[in-house]
Amino acid sequence: MTIWVTRWLPASLVITALACGSPAPPEEPKCDPGATPAALGPPAGARPGEPYRWLARSWQSPLGVTIRTYGLAIDGVPVFGRHEVEIYDARGQLAYRAGTGGAVLAALHDRGAAAWAAWQHPFASPRSEGRSDPLAHTTERAVWYYADGSVVPAVTTERLDLRGEPPVGEIVVRHAVTGAELARRGTLYELGGPEYLVYARDDGRPLPSLLGNTLPHPTGVPDGRVPSPVPQQSRRQSGVIAGLPDPWLPSPAKQTRGNNVVAFYDSLLNSAGKLVDPFDDMGNDTPEYGPEPDTLGHDFFATATGERFAFTYDPTKTVSEYFQDGAPGDPASPPSASDIAINAKIVQAFYDANWLHDYFYAAGYNEAAGTAQQSNYGRGGTQCDPVIVHAAFFTTFTFPGAEGQSPVLDIGLNSRSASRRDSAMDFTVLAHEWGHTLIGRLAGGTADSDALGKLQGMALHEGIADFIGMLVNVPGVDPLAAYPIGTYTNLDYIERRATLPPVEAPADAMYYGIRRYPYSLDVRKNPLTLRHIAVPPPTDMPYYNWKGRGPQLSEPHTTGEVFSQGLFQCFGNIVAAHAGADFESLRARMAQYLVAGLIAFPDHPSLLDARNAFLGVIRLTHPADDYPACRAGFATRGMGADALGPDRDFPTTNPTTLPPYDP
């Protein structure tokens, strides 16, 4: 599945029309997504122009460690792209520090008071200005830009234009006085009370897909066999995640419009009844595309009958399902709001995204860590930013959204599936997509929206999202088994571009999914190590060349597979180190490591920097067992203590050099 991600969601995509705080908190929150964090102001006694660090986040993990993220600022204006993280053990002792923030702050302090006095930003305070059109949106902010031991006043322009050819998502930093360009980064990455009728296990965890428990692959070899679909099951929130009192929906439940997730069908029909491709320039005919249903009446939520969201899905009729994937300008009739298949997809995506929210909330992704919720119930953090899910869309991509801005998941058709499968029915893909929101919120946080702005950061985004898709789906870790992701979504794979080699065994999507190899602890099933970010895999192990990405070693998904395999090897070793232990407890602990490790990421991490962040957290909490196990797992995949890899600044990315969008 081609996945698009941006960390800067247009302010117009923040829910404003929703009754803020629905379901109603004790006190209705006041939503101001453009507000400046109070901690950004100068500390007492600071002289004009004196640089200082500000506490962007202090978060305590369920593991017992505390992680603090510090940004840099001068006179209330942040320094772009610089932050520092500190990890404290359970005794409050500093155990780990990473990031460039400390070195930059020291360099600026060394310039002295005379230099500080000259650092005057032309804007009295940080500004945030945006346009209302979410498909062609520009936001500007005042920042300082650090280079060569000094800073210059600058303005960041964060631009999202999904109508261009190709579409553009970028952030440009320019000198605030001269207008000279200082930096440019691309921000697009190619890519679960009431009762719910869904595909889920007995314990409420969503199934990997409507094909049932397909992980690991039943035979461990590409045999072309596809299991039969399983029936949907009725599930309630109370039977899903214990110990979390916050309801997904208010009572009585009416629509899939809750505190954590807002899911609905988002139409691309304009007022003339014609399809508009949001990635093409159709002028003023472009329909509303955003968190609220449009005014044309074509958008709709799934609606409960007697507090029961029950729409029986028929997986034998996927070819005839409604998708708005016609050519731009084609006339089309909107689907009925009672369309069974679309409503079933809305409910499944709503359930899955809420389940993920609650599962990772228990792992530490709470209000203080930046979780996405309409109301934070007075527990801190920034609110009015629930996850938006557009179900039955014509493709699949994700905008993670910085804290205070709603992440948006567009979940829908895989155009490479001849049987027209929808990713809403594949929890490995939906969890990957939702994982991008987790990664975007935790890595850097409010201190640094550019934390994963370079090519290795893009690869980490994709690789860690893959690992999230596996972590929440696998029933255990068999050292000889194969664990693919995206198998249901990619059923009946077809390649539409004649310029690429013929597809290898399209019937084997159940074994390969949407990656070169299934993930596995067995190097005979997945041979990838760190060296394979620079050299092709072994010639005696042919890979699945989905979308022709396989030979492109620096493509973010392709590079990301290497890091994801390292994380999976780490997790598998931890499970093996606790033979006979409860697997669910080990899975939950790995989720805690994941949340804490992401928060501990330095700015612009390399793959090895990311490894260090995860190992640092694990070493502080389980030094005798999990730490050596995880360390050995990374070493198995070429990321041991003596590993050498590209540094964080190599290579830089330019959005104009990235492949065009390919749904």
43-100 residue pLDDT tens: 887 888 888 888 988 999 988 999 999 988 888 888 988 889 999 999 999 998 988 8
- Residue matched to tokens 């190097």: 523
Q: Average pLDDT of the chain?
A: 83
Distance CA 288, CA 296 (A): 9
**Helices (H) and strands (E) in the chain — how many of each?**
10, 17
For 514-565, how does the pLDDT look when each residue is reduced to its tens digit (9 = 90+)?
A: 999 999 999 999 999 999 999 999 999 988 888 888 888 988 999 999 999 9
604, amino acid identity: H
Mean pLDDT of the region 562-569: 98
First-last CA distance in the chain? 8
Mean pLDDT of the region 626-643: 97
- 128, 11 contact by CB (below 8 A): yes
Question: Which helix (DSSP H) or strand (DSSP E) does residue 386 occupy?
Answer: none
How many residues in the chain? 663
**Which 3 state secondary structure label does DSSP give 13?**
helix
Domains of the chain listed by start with CATH number: 455-657 (1.10.390.10)
Angle between helices 455-471 and 607-621 (to 10 degrees): 50
Distance CA 300, CA 291 (A): 12
Tell whether the model's pLDDT for residue 282 goes beyond 80: no
Tell whether the model's pLDDT for residue 502 goes beyond 80: no
- Pick the closest to residue 512 from 539, 537, 542, 533 (CA basis): 542
Residue 519 has phi, psi (to 5 degrees) of -75, 140
- 118, 106 contact by CB (below 8 A): no
Peptide bond just before 328 cis, omega within 30 deg? no
Q: How crowded is residue 129: how many other Cβ atoms within 10 Å of its Cβ? A: 11
Q: What are the structure tokens assigned to 585, written together?
A: 């407890």
pLDDT value of residue 7? 29
- 63, 48 contact by CB (below 8 A): no
pLDDT value of residue 242? 52
Tell whether the model's pLDDT for residue 38 goes beyond 70: no
Distance CA 449, CA 80 (A): 9
For 435-481, how does the pLDDT look when each residue is reduced to its tens digit (9 = 90+)?
A: 999 999 999 766 666 677 778 988 999 999 999 999 999 999 999 99
Supply the DSSP string of 32-91, one letter for each residue.
-TTPPPGGGSPPTTPPTT-EEEEEEEEEE-TTS-EEEEEEEEETTEEEEEEEEEEEE-TT
Q: What are the structure tokens assigned to 373, written together?
A: 């919720």
- 371, 362 contact by CB (below 8 A): no
**Which 3 state secondary structure label does DSSP give 636?**
helix
Distances (CA, A) of 344 to 301, 318, 349, 417: 11, 12, 9, 20
Residue 636 has phi, psi (to 5 degrees) of -60, -30
Tell whether the model's pLDDT for residue 307 goes beyond 90: no
pLDDT band at 253 (very low <50, low <70, confident <90, very high): confident
pLDDT value of residue 654? 41
Distance CA 10, CA 635 (A): 41
Tell whether the model's pLDDT for residue 503 goes beyond 80: no
pLDDT value of residue 466? 98
**Cα dihedral sign, 199-202-207-210:** negative
Mean pLDDT of the region 364-388: 91
pTM for the full predicted model: 0.81
Answer with the residue of higher pLDDT: 214 or 17: 214
- 519, 466 contact by CB (below 8 A): yes
Distances (CA, A) of 409 to 4, 264, 424, 437, 549: 10, 11, 10, 9, 23
Residue 73 has phi, psi (to 5 degrees) of -155, 160
Supply the DSSP string of 229-293, one letter for each residue.
P---EEEEGGGTSTT----SS-SS--BSB-SSEEEEE---B-TTSBB--TTS--GGGPPP-SSSP
Our measurement of the distance from residue 403's CA atom to the centroid of its chain's CA atoms, rounded to an integer in Å, reads 13
- Pick the closest to residue 425 from 289, 278, 316 (CA basis): 316
- Residue matched to tokens 């050099």: 657
Distances (CA, A) of 429 to 480, 484, 501, 514, 515: 23, 11, 25, 9, 12
β-partners of residue 11 are: none
